[in-house]
Amino acid sequence: MSRLFPAPDALIGKRLDVAVAKMLGVSRAKASELIACGQVRSLSRDIAKSSTLMAGETLEVSLKDEAPAPEPISHDMAIVYEDDDVVVVDKPVGVAAHASVGWTGPTVLGSLLDRGVHITSYGAPGRQGIVSRLDVGTSGLMLVCKSELAYKEMRRQFAEHEVKKTYHALVQGNLKEDKATIEAPIGRAKVSDFRFTVTPAGKEAITHWDVMERFGEATLVSVNLETGRTHQIRVHFSSIGHPLVGDPMYGANPVLSAALGLDRQWLHAMRLEFRHPRTRVWTTVESHYPADLSHALKVMRERAAVRLEPAV
């Protein structure tokens, strides 16, 4: 049985044996062996172990002695909007947008296909129909395209920033302003393949925020993204000294996270607004807080109320 692996961005430019070793979780020697015996091949060219992994390349891996385990399915992922062209899901935390190297949990795409939802074949292998993603640790609304027309049009709308994405985030500390914009380029951090940072060499990133509620030790904000960089909200708020509560990767206080019962960043994709790809009608889809974020917010309000009680 064979599987297709789109080249991960973090491994572009690496020697093929090094890249395959990381993609499959095997030794470099084993990766070289798989390439040499033809169990790893590129769909676009002839390769050797010393070849360089190229952007946009897809590798086909045939593991003769191993049958891949079936992908877990998210049964509690709600569909909040669906027609013949698009489907919008309320993605739970712990669900990836699509399959990727090293991920063994449920995915939005796999869970939709398991329910019999038709998804367009347009898009990269394993990512068909997906024009915008959410992190595994971020919950909320995510749109997937069912038709070819929708894929082409929604990809354009996301690329040209015509889709309005509203997030709610709980950030540490008391923000000085009631509303502001963070405009700072974001690129991959040198210390890790999985972290991003504000850097002059990064891509343009613009985040607008408005304060919704203040608690003293944290602030609840509504966030609109003008761009859609990986980890954009997490990186931008960390860069101004206000990391998201529950986000240790970008500097969150673990003591506060534990007090609120959080084991992930307090961030939820709350509202999605777009022009329908076929009817051109402006469409708005809304979500609600999942249980873990609601509980954390309740505890935060209680902590704030105690601090405000007058001394007797």
Express each pLDDT in 59-108 by its tens digit.
998 876 555 567 899 999 999 999 999 999 999 999 999 988 778 899 99
Record: fold of 71-160? Pseudouridine synthase (3.30.2350)
Q: Active site includes 135?
A: yes
| 8 Å CB contact between 87 and 111 | no
Q: Hey, what CATH class is 163-278 in?
A: alpha beta
Out of 85, 90, 135, 292, the active site residue is 135
Predicted pLDDT of residue 228: 86
User: What is this structure's pTM?
Assistant: 0.77
Tokens encoding 157? 């709308």
| 8 Å CB contact between 132 and 142 | yes
| 8 Å CB contact between 209 and 165 | no
CA distance 188 to 205: 13
Tokens encoding 56? 């946009």
Tokens encoding 227? 């761009």
Two domains, one topology: 2-61 and 71-160: no
DSSP string, 202-214: SB--EEEEEEEEE
Predicted pLDDT of residue 1: 64
Taking residue 284's Cβ as centre, other Cβ atoms within 10 Å add up to: 11
CA distance 241 to 194: 20
Low-confidence ranges of the chain (pLDDT < 70): 1, 64-69, 192-193, 309-312
| 8 Å CB contact between 158 and 151 | no
Give the CA dihedral 160, 166, 172, 178, nearest 10 degrees: 90
**How is the chain split into domains, by residue range?**
2-61, 71-160, 163-278
CA distance 37 to 35: 6
Record: fold of 2-61? 3.10.290
Taking residue 255's Cβ as centre, other Cβ atoms within 10 Å add up to: 8
